[in-house]
Chain A
Amino acid sequence: MRYLPLTPDDRAEMLGVIGAPDIDALFADVPAAARKADLFDLPLHAGELEVERELTALSALNRAAGAGPFFCGAGAYKHHVPATVDHIIQRSEFLTSYTPYQPEIAQGTLQVLFEFQTQVAALTGMDVANASMYDGSTACAEAVMMAQRVNRREKAILSGGLHPHYAATTQTIAHAEGMEIVRLAAAIDAEAAVIDAIDDETACVVVQTPNVFGVVTDVSKIAEAAHAKGALLIVVTTEAVAFGLLKTPGEMGADIAVAEGQSIGNALNYGGPYVGLFAVREKLVRSMPGRLCGETVDAEGRRGYVLTLSTREQHIRREKATSNICTNSGLCALAFTIHMTLLGGTGLSQLARINHGKARELKAAVEAAGLEVLTPRFFNEIAVRTKGSAAALVDDLLADGIVAGVPYSRLDPHAGLDDVLLLCATETTTSEDIAALKAALTQKAA
């Protein structure tokens, strides 16, 4: 076995040093009834070539997003990631290190986390950010529970424009913690209904912009309404590239901003691993979940970084912790940081404008094909009304080699929005892709 360095001679010699007659003696504490003498019914070890062959064959059964015209977004986005990013995150010192609990020999990871926190705070327009969560959906659930810790109220209001998977995750996790989750009806311009739902029991309101239908909303009014009732505003963003163009959650009065950071630096990966962004107002820092990296000095007075405020965390506080999170998304955060550093603010703004331009091109094409675009103000995603079921249309167009987006019903089968199709364009979408979609849609409509 290529990954196991001990030879039979090593093993015999080591057993001698230990004073054990055989390896079974070291498993003596296992009840006899549970000791398996035989190998399990699974294939035997395989060489690298053989394993690579099997995985390549499996991979080939999937159609990569880059294999043709492709318009899926809805929480995960196809972007171009510079080759440098993936090269650097595979350096041994980043890839094969543990959480930086020994700061003297983990300054690489720690300084990256400090840069990451600063970048996330700047992108979201907030004061501070943590060192990442698992993904956007779990960050959303954590934000809701954090609101409960801050104002001791139990009710969370979720906008009907919140990604249904985020709503379901929040419902599952925050409800289990004892919160009452009120999810408003799904609608294109769902944010309009949020203000009326806020009352004196409301811990927080969760609003997504751009929302799952692509609608960009200035949530300042919702912030005012929430704050007037003593509730927190949580702003969710699933497309981090939008931070390059749109008003930030901070500018609009968010108390907590959470986002999916996959778009910057990370591949689609069929849904994970991704990286949750979590940023708050300064005064809320000590209620925050997750790891935080902070600046300090070493014994010689030199600037360095450590994980800090760990008294909020499970390994210190145990059942009194702010969250049970331990492992998070370190390497994905690194990829985010490197990509963001390559882009810079200038590059991200430009990238965002390119995305928006592509989406306008997409909108024009869809309208020219005779479909109604439902999203009034969008970044890089639009919702479209299909004639008949959106899922059937996606199946139809797949036969033409086009992946024509995500039927909303796939995310939320009970909403009665079976004729709503979610389409996305990014810098990776070509004019030829859009032309192919337009031609196919026109043909289906004819």
Chain B
Amino acid sequence: MTMQNIGRPTRPEGAAESTGFTSLTGGRGLLQDEPLIFELGGWTKTGVDLPAASGDAADLAGLTRAGVDLPGLSEPEAVRHYVRLSQKNHAIDLALYPLGSCTMKHNPRLNEKAARLPGFADLHPLAPVATAQGALQLMDRLAHWLKTLTGMPAVALTPKAGAHGELCGLLCIKAAHEAAGQGHRRTVLVPTSAHGTNPATAAFVGYSVQEIAQTEDGRVDLADLEAKLGPDVAAIMVTNPNTCGLFERDVIEIARLTHAAGAYFYCDGANFNAIVGRVRPGDLGVDAMHINLHKTFSTPHGGGGPGAGPVVLSEALAPFAPAPWVVSGPDGLDLVEEAAADAAQAFGRMSAFQGQMGMFVRAYAYMRSHGADGLRQVAEDAVLNANYIKARLSDVMTPAFPDGPCMHEALFDDAWLDGTGITTLDFAKAMIDEGFHPMTMYFPLVVHGAMLIEPTETESKRELDRFCEALRALAATAKLGDVERFKGAPHLAPMRRLDETLAARKPKLVWKRESGGA
């Protein structure tokens, strides 16, 4: 999940004075000040030893370029450059990373090793099917696990991320409506608390978006839903557990009303982590749901992808799934890469090839490692950890929904900061000085100054306590009026607050010689 820039400053406001001691050369101890590769001078250098090319390229006369104007680095220089850069990043391997809705959990290294086995990593997507039976078996097994865990009869594996999965799900819904002569249904209902991708995806496929109101206790307002479920509604898109970290108590009634109105129930599965192994979305009346393998099934976030977003589908939507899919054939498994004429309902193709195979291997290794028992424990510990944080912080911060348990994330508003002059953003940035990544801020939009904390199940009690102690100390300091600690935060990070307004006003998106001075 992202950080909204609605209702928060995008320029540094605090005093710009330095934190005190400065080095003579610009670095901060072991934290080096590292230039761009374009400033390191290797314009004729290469760090790869290649043989001579055979012959020239005379046959391409008039079709070739003059040369490639990019610098290179020798291997030791390149290693140093990127290792130095890496040290400026926070990571789940360093500390609790409480980004609500993002599910930053431990990434097992076994999964990395498995994905790099030559039979997976060095397998060409168009290799003859007879030479890719292990890959097809893995896709088949992954599909079986996803279907069993969700209680859904079908899954489309190819979508490359959550938003791509949403698109796939909505395209299935659109195709199903069109096949049933219901193509006039052009509206998608989305709760006000939805992820930004939901309305973006609905608009993307040409649907108009209508918001559903939320109740006082953070759930879909059934009366409002019922009022808006007309003959023009194609689908509802509901996240469950929702973005307030709450389970939609009336979900079965939501599904019933939706189906009664002739619409489909799309569930955003971003928060499946909270219920995996305990609750099957199929039992809730869901028609389609994407599963972020990079959230629930722990494939690494990698600084912004790659992800994977397979979509599970109900019986009604399964015939509309995109190509390709795996089938059993006379000589083992086969890959259907183009829908046959008799399966013309399939709506097409979400991308080239078979989807995020590298992520399938990792997710499958993760599922196998946990098993049915471990996955259930995942949901239980994720929910336990979030409720523990909520319980430990409720006397110093204000929970947005104090009554009843939360699911896998604890949501606070900024009421407790009233009168301090400190904002959610300031508080979050001060967390950096204490060694923690900020929580998701200003999302969901329905809660003022929202702070959404998702610890995940892979945090020990010791780390949770360390986190809670840090937040309690910060909260106490905020109330005592130590405003500068917050306004100027972070003081101890590799960088102070950055000027986003400047970046957007005069975008500098690539390095240029004249400005870089090489």
Contact = CB atoms under 8 A, between A and B. Distances in A.
Given A31-B251, A350-B53, A403-B127, A271 B353 contact: yes
A195 B457 CA distance: 58
Nearest to A41: B148
Nearest to A98: B301
Contact of B57 (A64, A131, A347, A356): A356
Nearest to A322: B200
Interface string B1-22: 1111110000010101010000
B509 A353 contact: no
Interface stretch (A5-13, A186-194, A366-374, A436-444): A5-13
Contacts of B202: 319
B124 A5 contact: no
A109 interface: yes
Contacts of B338: 413
Contacts of B117: 55-56, 59
Contacts of B252: 31, 33-34
A330 B195 CA distance: 21
A102 B428 CA distance: 10
A230 interface: no
25 contacts: A5-B460, A17-B388, A28-B404, A30-B247, A50-B368, A55-B138, A57-B134, A58-B137, A62-B123, A76-B353, A82-B75, A93-B89, A100-B89, A107-B495, A114-B511, A118-B36, A138-B351, A247-B65, A268-B124, A272-B354, A313-B2, A319-B209, A324-B200, A327-B163, A334-B303
Given A82-B75, A354-B50, 9 more contacts: A3-B369, A6-B384, A26-B383, A36-B277, A46-B369, A58-B135, A63-B123, A122-B68, A311-B504
B508 A137 contact: no
A107 B174 contact: no
A291 B304 contact: yes
A316 B278 contact: no
Interface residues of B, number: 212
A105 B352 contact: no
A90 B303 CA distance: 11
Contacts of B511: 114-115, 118
Contact of B50 (A65, A271, A347, A361): A347
Contacts of A325: 161, 163-164
Interface in A41-64: 41-46, 48, 50-52, 54-64
A246 B78 contact: no
A53 to B, nearest CB: 10
A340 B38 CA distance: 12
B46 interface: yes
A112 B249 contact: no
Interface in A109-165: 109, 111-112, 114-115, 117-119, 121-123, 125, 127-129, 131-132, 134-138, 163, 165
B60 interface: yes
Interface stretch (B106-114, B224-232, B415-423, B477-485): B106-114
A205 interface: no
A3 B119 CA distance: 26
The 8 A-B pairs at the shortest CB distance, nearest first, are namely A344-B72, A271-B353, A331-B302, A59-B119, A61-B134, A172-B348, A330-B304, A271-B125
A360 B55 CA distance: 9
Given A36-B280, A93-B91, A247-B64, A360 B59 contact: yes
Given A86-B116, A93-B94, A296-B502, A246 B372 contact: no
A332 interface: yes
A270 B42 CA distance: 34
Contacts of A175: 348
Nearest to A310: B5
Contacts of B351: 134-135, 137-138, 165, 169, 272
A403 B82 contact: no
Nearest to A338: B82
B185 interface: no
Interface stretch (A67-75, A196-204, A221-229): A67-75
Contact of B371 (A45, A100, A317, A406): A45
Contact of A319 (B71, B127, B199, B388): B199
B64 to A, nearest CB: 6
Interface stretch (B257-265, B311-319, B355-363): B355-363
A270 B132 contact: yes
B53 A356 contact: yes
Interface in A394-425: 394-395, 398, 403, 406, 410-411, 413
Contacts of A17: 388, 391-392
Nearest to B170: A176
Nearest to A134: B160
A46 B371 contact: yes
Interface string B249-274: 10110000000000000000000000
Candidate in A136, A308, A361, A394 with the most chain B CB atoms within 10 angstroms:
A308
B496 A326 contact: no
B301 A99 contact: yes
Interface in B155-173: 160-164, 166-167, 171
Contacts of B323: 168
B304 A377 contact: no
Given A10-B461, A308-B503, A330-B305, A20 B125 contact: no
A17 B509 CA distance: 49
B223 interface: no
